[in-house]
């Protein structure tokens, strides 16, 4: 694990030692296949205000932008919650992307969300995303660049 921890220390920002799966340093890009299930029509908000919802009210490009931002290292400290600190077992802190420029392809299917597990009703803030990440090697010696 020492090698993984050393890689994470090289991406230290905002109190976290980040370890993205796709990063420039090893010439590794990725393609994303996303299934996004979201409520359709006027679904009431239960227990949350509209400003606490990530998905509610936004159009599809805004929703995907929010999702892609969540997959990468936050570029600014204010992009993290105020009390964000890694737990003991979150060093390094794994994420998908160093930044979203490393995405070579996106396939998106948006469908209606009918119900979430263990729930009786769909709220406007509910969403479910299934993301398949495929790593794309830019050159044959991709993993030789790690050391």
What burial letters (b/e) apply to 41-79, b meaning 16+ CB within 10 Å?
eebeeeeeeeeebebbeeeeeebbeebbeebbbbeeeee
100, 34 in Cβ contact below 8 A? no
34, 67 in Cβ contact below 8 A? yes
> Count of domains in the chain?
1
pTM for this prediction = 0.74
- Structural domain including 75 reads 2-145
Q: Which helix (H) or strand (E) holds 16?
A: strand 16-22
- pLDDT digit string, tens, across residues 116-136: 888 888 887 888 899 999 988
Q: What is the CA radius of gyration of the chain?
A: 18
- pLDDT digit string, tens, across residues 79-121: 777 778 878 888 888 889 988 888 999 999 999 988 888 888 8
Q: What is the DSSP letter of 23?
A: -
Which two structure tokens, joined as six digits, stand for 25? 């340093």
């Amino acid at each position: 694990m020492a090698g993984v921890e050393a890689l994470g220390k090289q991406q230290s920002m905002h109190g976290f030692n980040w370890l993205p799966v796709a990063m420039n340093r090893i010439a590794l890009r990725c393609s994303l296949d996303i299934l996004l299930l979201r409520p359709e029509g006027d679904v009431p908000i239960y227990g949350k205000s509209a400003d606490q919802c990530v998905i509610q009210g936004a159009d599809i490009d805004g929703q995907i932008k929010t999702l892609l931002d969540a997959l990468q290292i936050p570029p600014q400290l204010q992009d993290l919650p105020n009390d964000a600190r890694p737990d003991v077992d979150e060093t390094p802190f794994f994420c998908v992307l160093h930044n979203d420029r490393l995405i070579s392809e996106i396939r998106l299917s948006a469908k209606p969300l009918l119900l979430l597990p263990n729930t009786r009703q769909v709220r406007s803030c509910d969403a479910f995303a299934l993301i398949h990440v495929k790593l794309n090697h830019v050159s044959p010696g991709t993993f030789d660049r790690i050391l």
